């Protein structure tokens, strides 16, 4: 029996039971203090991330010779394309073969996928939906690339892409970027800084264009960031503060995907008086193909609710160390499905090559299928960045309307009350209820254990102890004065009433019902009356905006994995962050003392260029956060990535979701199939050609 099979079977036997009895206590009598937060254990199928210095991954360099698929060379001989060395830049982007998991690839074959969102059009830069499910990721190129940055060990920084390098001014208020020279769009037209400036001036800064990142995203403390062209291959950013290093992460996928100005300008109202903004957004309809792109593959065929076919871009500007023009695979096929679940089902069946594992209810089945002898796929489990927490509304005045609201907010802002909640939670029991295998484990909040900045020794971990929870409630003045099993207010306008709290969860969080129901029972054990309520997303959003919620089970976002990108979300950096201590115009935010400390640390972290100092700051942050139980982490796990067993060059430990979703993380231009495993192509021996 294979080792992975043994691990899974042991896990099923060990963790197949339901919750332990909720009333069990780790200790009796006094309040139990913090214990050491345990290390995580590997999951069967995980290989762990192998990291590299940037110089081991990529360089921009002229090579002695270049090669391409034989059928592309035949098109050159037929006069339909220039020679490969004329299509490539003088110094192409070289993806080093020594970095690749399986080395130099074999040309040919198909990368098969599923999409469940129809293509609205191809003007992605004006906010048009291009189908998602990786389509937007493999049809656009950005200045920098943050998806594969988890592979770097030299710096916590994006990878270069269309921007080859960048230099900060001495005062840190400007950043000069060099663009790769000689790159051509898929129709052979040169890429220059004019394309970047068209994105900036006529999409991002134009309030009439629904770009994915608007002008408001390019401000610091309400002051604008500016961008200017120095020459055809150099641009300059200017900032209102010194060294805002975190803005580098905004210069990546989606935010700075570069449009072909020579195609789109003629549709833009600024340059065409007969056009309008609606016409501009819709100027590249789904079936107007091929589109013009800088990416490895070009959409060439689309049938609504049926199929999307992409073929290799003969002008793609990246090569491997031996001069083979990338990508290795000639074709990408997307089959339409009504839901994303089909992608997982098809990957298990072998007709799709990749799918994300993100919903706990699918974990067990996927793992069991993956270890079968004839399984067509394998699983790669990324770092621990999937978590569930209990968020506590700590706004002193925002959303407060009644005496009950005021009394609850006073409790919520008392660290002893928050600690009573956290010590009443049997995280091990919740973890066992989520899946049969050892996927979930306790998490206490703050940064995810899978974050590059996580420091286990900085975690203040208050253990499960019902007696401690009861003692802490008594410490804040709550007692069961009517002997009904629930604590009562002992002072103020609610004196004598039971303390009642409502736990909310969005209907789209499938594990919410399991977690919410468990919390209701656990809080009952310490004498706290709780109710659980599932709510639709629109209602949750409304209550966010009005501040009228109490406790909420949530699946936190990636700010807790990659704070260097979303620093504004992890402290009181804006009126809307963090979500559990919002404010609004006319309502002053009353920061708790520890919140002021956290915000100060995050501001320093966001502008700190030294990685070791960044980590030290986040260690301070994590200690203060968990010591004060700012939010209550419950359990954490990993996102999984399903991949066809025959695909080569998937990076070791490739996460399904870290900074970006899977397609960006795996650098799809390097993936390849051995000849014997290659699927039949829909449009063999063709490349997109333009009139």
| Same domain (yes/no): 448, 340 | no
| Same domain (yes/no): 130, 245 | yes
| Same domain (yes/no): 420, 311 | no
**Predicted TM-score (pTM) of this structure:** 0.81
| Same domain (yes/no): 310, 454 | no
| Same domain (yes/no): 502, 647 | no
- Residue 49 counted as domain residue: no
| Same domain (yes/no): 349, 443 | no
| Same domain (yes/no): 113, 211 | yes
Q: How does pLDDT run across 518-532, given as a tens digit for each residue?
A: 999 999 999 999 999
Predicted confidence (pLDDT) at residue 468 exceeds the cutoff of 80: yes
- Residue 93 counted as domain residue: yes
- Residue 269 counted as domain residue: yes
- Residue 380 counted as domain residue: no
| Same domain (yes/no): 649, 502 | no
| Same domain (yes/no): 671, 631 | no
- Residue 690 counted as domain residue: no
Residue range(s) defining the domain that contains residue 433: 385-637
Q: Which pair of structure tokens corresponds to residue 20?
A: 């332990």
Q: Give me the pLDDT at residue 212, please.
A: 85
Q: Give me the pLDDT at residue 44, please.
A: 64
d(CA 285, CA 47): 42
| Same domain (yes/no): 191, 281 | yes
CATH of the domain at 658: 3.40.190.10
Least confident window among 89-98, 167-176, 453-462, 539-548: 539-548
Number of domains, the chain: 2
* Listed residue (471, 445, 389, 485) closest to 628, CA to CA: 445
Q: Which helix (H) or strand (E) holds 554?
A: strand 551-554
Q: Give me the pLDDT at residue 609, please.
A: 79
- Residue 407 counted as domain residue: yes
- Residue 259 counted as domain residue: yes
- Residue 673 counted as domain residue: yes
Averaged pLDDT for residues 106-134: 92
CATH of the domain at 593: 3.10.105.10
d(CA 318, CA 390): 45
Percent pLDDT > 90 in the chain is 75
Cis before residue 290, ω within 30 degrees of 0? yes
Specify whether the CB–CB gap between 613 and 634 falls below 8 A. no
Specify whether the CB–CB gap between 437 and 424 falls below 8 A. no
| Same domain (yes/no): 123, 261 | yes
Specify whether the CB–CB gap between 96 and 56 falls below 8 A. yes
Q: Give me the pLDDT at residue 46, please.
A: 67
| Same domain (yes/no): 326, 287 | yes
Averaged pLDDT for residues 651-661: 85
* Secondary structure of residue 207 in the 3-state scheme: coil
Specify whether the CB–CB gap between 498 and 488 falls below 8 A. yes
Label each residue of 315-376 as H, E or C: CCCEEECCCEECCCCCEEEEEECCCCHHHHHHHHHCCCCEEEECCHHHHHHHHHHHCCCCCC
Q: Which pair of structure tokens corresponds to residue 670?
A: 């390097």
């Amino acid at each position: 029996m294979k080792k992975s099979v043994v691990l899974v079977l042991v896990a099923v036997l060990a963790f197949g039971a339901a919750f332990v009895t909720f009333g069990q206590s780790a200790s009796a009598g006094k309040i139990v203090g913090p214990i050491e937060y345990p290390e995580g254990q590997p999951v069967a199928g995980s290989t762990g991330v192998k990291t590299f210095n940037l110089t081991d991954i990529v360089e921009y360099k002229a090579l002695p010779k270049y090669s391409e698929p034989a059928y592309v060379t035949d098109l050159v001989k037929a006069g339909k394309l220039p020679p490969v060395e004329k299509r490539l830049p003088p110094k192409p982007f070289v993806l080093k073969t020594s970095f690749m998991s399986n080395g130099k690839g074999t040309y040919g074959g198909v990368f098969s996928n599923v999409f469940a969102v129809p293509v609205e059009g191809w003007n992605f830069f004006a906010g048009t939906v291009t189908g998602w499910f990786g389509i937007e990721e493999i049809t656009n190129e950005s200045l920098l690339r943050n998806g594969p940055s988890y592979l770097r060990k030299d710096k916590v920084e994006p990878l270069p892409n269309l921007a080859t390098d960048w230099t900060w001014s001495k005062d840190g208020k400007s950043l000069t970027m060099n663009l790769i020279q000689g790159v051509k769009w898929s129709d052979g037209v040169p890429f220059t800084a004019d394309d970047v400036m068209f994105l900036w001036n006529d999409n991002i800064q134009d309030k009439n264009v629904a770009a994915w990142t608007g002008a408001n995203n390019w401000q610091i403390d309400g002051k604008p960031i500016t961008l200017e062209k120095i020459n055809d291959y150099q641009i300059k950013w200017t900032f209102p503060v010194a060294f805002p290093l975190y803005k580098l992460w905004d210069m990546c996928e989606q935010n700075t995907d570069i449009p072909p100005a020579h195609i789109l300008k003629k549709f833009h109202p600024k340059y065409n008086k007969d056009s309008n903004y609606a016409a501009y957004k819709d100027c590249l309809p789904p079936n107007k193909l091929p589109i013009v792109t800088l990416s490895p593959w070009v959409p060439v065929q689309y049938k609504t609710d049926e199929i999307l076919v992409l073929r290799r871009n003969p002008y793609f500007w990246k090569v491997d160390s031996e001069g083979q023009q990338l990508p290795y695979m000639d074709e990408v096929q997307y089959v339409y499905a009504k839901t994303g679940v089909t992608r997982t089902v098809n990957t298990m069946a072998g007709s799709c090559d990749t799918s994300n594992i993100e919903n706990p209810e699918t974990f067990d089945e996927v793992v069991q299928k993956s270890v079968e002898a004839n399984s067509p796929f394998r699983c790669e489990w990324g770092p621990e960045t999937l978590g569930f927490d209990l968020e506590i509304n700590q706004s002193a005045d925002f959303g407060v309307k009644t005496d009950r609201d005021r009394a609850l907010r006073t409790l919520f802002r008392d660290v002893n009350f928050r600690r009573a909640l956290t010590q009443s939670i049997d995280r091990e029991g919740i973890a066992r209820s989520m899946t049969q295998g050892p996927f979930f484990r306790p998490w206490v909040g703050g940064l995810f254990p899978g974050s590059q900045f996580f420091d286990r020794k900085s975690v203040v971990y208050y253990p499960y102890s019902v007696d401690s929870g009861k003692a802490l409630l008594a410490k804040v003045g709550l007692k069961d004065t009517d002997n009904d099993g629930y604590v009562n207010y002992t002072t103020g306008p609610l004196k004598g009433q039971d303390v009642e709290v409502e736990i909310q969860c969005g209907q789209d969080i499938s594990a919410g019902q399991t977690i919410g129901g468990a919390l209701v029972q656990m809080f009952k054990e310490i004498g706290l009356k709780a109710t659980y309520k599932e709510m639709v997303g629109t209602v949750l959003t409304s209550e966010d905006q009005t501040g009228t919620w109490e406790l909420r089970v949530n699946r936190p976002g990636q700010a807790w994995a990659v704070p260097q990108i979303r620093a504004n979300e992890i402290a009181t950096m804006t009126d809307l962050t963090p979500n559990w201590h919002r404010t609004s115009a006319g309502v002053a935010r009353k920061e708790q003392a520890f919140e002021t400390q956290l915000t100060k640390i995050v501001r320093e972290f966001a502008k700190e260029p030294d990685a070791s100092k960044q980590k030290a700051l986040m260690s301070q942050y994590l200690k203060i956060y968990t010591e004060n139980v700012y939010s209550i982490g419950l359990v954490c796990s990993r996102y999984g990535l399903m991949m066809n067993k025959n695909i080569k060059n998937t990076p070791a430990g490739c996460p399904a979701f870290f900074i970006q979703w899977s397609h960006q993380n795996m650098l799809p231009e390097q993936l390849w199939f051995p000849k014997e495993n290659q699927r039949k192509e829909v449009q063999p021996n063709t490349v997109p050609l333009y009139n």
